[in-house]
Amino acid sequence: MVLLLRTLWKALTLRLRPPLEALGTSVLAFRVWPNDLDVNIHMNNGRFLSVMDLGRFDLTFRTGLGKAMLRNRWMPLVGGVTIRYRRSLDPFEAYELHTRLLGWDAKWFYLEQRFIKGGGELAAEGVVRALFRGKDGNVAIAEVLDQMGYAGLDLPPSEDLRRWAEG
């Protein structure tokens, strides 16, 4: 239920946040609430993944892609996630989620998502492989980039990302 409320709040406040360039970084502020906790009294590992959805939501809509997604009934799909936990997030602790596009290949977009504690300390970092699917199948990378207003050079994934995606 809390994620539903957080999603609704982020959706309602989108208009208050400035638009982002396609390669910009979405930064969202959060706090660890009691229902985010596990038996070790820190943020549950699964909650990190759920909060990451909100970062991708914010990036999608602030780059202008959200309108095209809704208009064309594209569904965002995650094809893989890897996350490394470095530090705990404790009850009521404030943190930021930084989300940015790392690159793309013929099929997938690759995004980095980092959880930053107060003082700039890294709590966790994840990489997500995602695409958009429309009624006729996967949406072409070029079409998605066009809807984001990106006209720059291709940004292929690093060798490490390619190996992870193939693994």
pLDDT at residue 111 in the model: 98
Please give the single-letter amino acid code of residue 49: L
92 in any annotated domain: yes
pLDDT at residue 7 in the model: 75
14 in any annotated domain: no
6 in any annotated domain: no
What CATH number is given to the structural domain containing 154? 3.10.129.10
69 in any annotated domain: yes
45 in any annotated domain: yes
Q: Which two tokens stand for residue 63?
A: 């780059």
Q: Which two tokens stand for residue 21?
A: 């360039």
Reduced to 3 states, what is the DSSP secondary structure of residue 74? coil
142 in any annotated domain: yes
The pTM for the full model equals: 0.92
pLDDT at residue 167 in the model: 76
pLDDT at residue 2 in the model: 59
How many domains in the chain? 1
Provide the domain limits for residue 36.
28-166
154 in any annotated domain: yes
166 C-beta neighbours (distance < 10 Å), count: 6
143 in any annotated domain: yes
Q: Any idea what DSSP says for residue 37?
A: B
Give mean pLDDT in consecutive 10-residue pieces for the chain, a chain of 167 residues.
71 79 95 93 95 94 92 96 97 98 96 96 97 96 94 93 87
